[in-house]
Structure 1
Amino acid sequence: MEKKKVYRLRPHHGMCLAYFEGKGYSSSFSSHVGQMLEILENGAEIKLIVSGDEICSACPNLEKNMCRTAERTALYDRSVLELCDLRENEILGFQEFVSKVEQMILKPGRREAICGDCQWDEICRKKKSRWEK
């Protein structure tokens, strides 16, 4: 039996993907994020990591495999882990993960305290989360 792929995912991407609308650093990056969102929403398992993940792999902010905003995004990741009572390297279903992000961060209005300094904050502020039930 073939082993199911586990996708590496930064915890803060649970918030980013909730508001993703195809705008981004470049058209190729936006296309990649859209493809990853489709894969993840179709029953994928994820491993939560505080470093470059499947989404970051196409990001133009990567320089020699390092993110230009590594310290700030690591803070975002650690905040999501803490608020959702999750651990780095934890493996779980993508749907379970985004449900926790929605219930523990997005619905109670905690997103802006975590990543309100992000350049994409305006998009997130104006939209409804795709995970909202």
Structure 2
Amino acid sequence: MTVRLRPHHLLCLLTYAGKGYSPGFTANYDSIAERIARGEDILIVAGPDDICAPLLDDREPHCWQASVTERDVLAARDLGRLLAMPIRTGTQLSLERHGLRRMRAAFAEGSLRQACAGCEWSTLCTSIASDAFRGVAIPDR
């Protein structure tokens, strides 16, 4: 199987440590993180993805907001530069050890965080990055 992700969720995965919007959201995210940690491939999609799924029944899910789409554009651009490959709808990739470490190093130094501006989770992600990504769900294999 393949995990369907929107581009900015590639950044969120770097610091995901079991916290989320609701218990159902967190349980779903835990399952996705486990699949990726086991080496499952990722397919880049436009709009809501597998992580968004538990939120789509909300009255006004933020997954469709223009600000979230802009996060995707910025994340795709910056990740594409870092990984030297296009990150766009239909791109398939896996988070192998070297790429994951490069992404985390860039995230920690701030060069991969433009998409994170204004995100409510930014302080938590900064704290996790400053603590050498200790306790994250997807370790550097």
TM-score normalised over the length of structure 2: 0.74
Match status 1:35 vs 2:31: yes
**Which of the two has greater strand per residue?**
1
2:42 maps to 1:46: yes
Give the letter aligned to residue 109 of structure 2. Answer: P
1:99: how far off?
4.8
1:18-61 CA-partner distances (Å, limit 9, x unpaired): 22222221111111101110011111111112211111111267
Give the C-alpha shift of residue 119 in structure 1. Answer: 0.9
> Structure 1 residue 17: deviation in Å?
1.7
Structure with more contact order per residue of length (Cα contacts < 8 Å, sep ≥ 6): 2
CA RMSD in angstroms comes to 2.7
Runs of 4+ in 1 over 6 A off after TM superposition: none
Distance 1:21 1:87, change over 3 A: closer
Q: Which runs of 5+ in 2 are unaligned?
A: 81-85
How many residue pairs were aligned?
Answer: 127
Q: Secondary structure at the match of 1:127?
A: helix
Secondary structure, in 3 states, of the residue corresponding to 1:94? coil
Normalised by the length of structure 1, the TM-score is 0.77
In the alignment, the residues of structure 1 paired with residue 5 and residue 109 of structure 2 have an alpha-carbon distance, to the nearest angstrom, of: 23
Task: Specify every segment of 5 or more residues in structure 1 that has no aligned partner in the other structure, as ranges.
Answer: none
2:51 to 43, 46, 55: 55
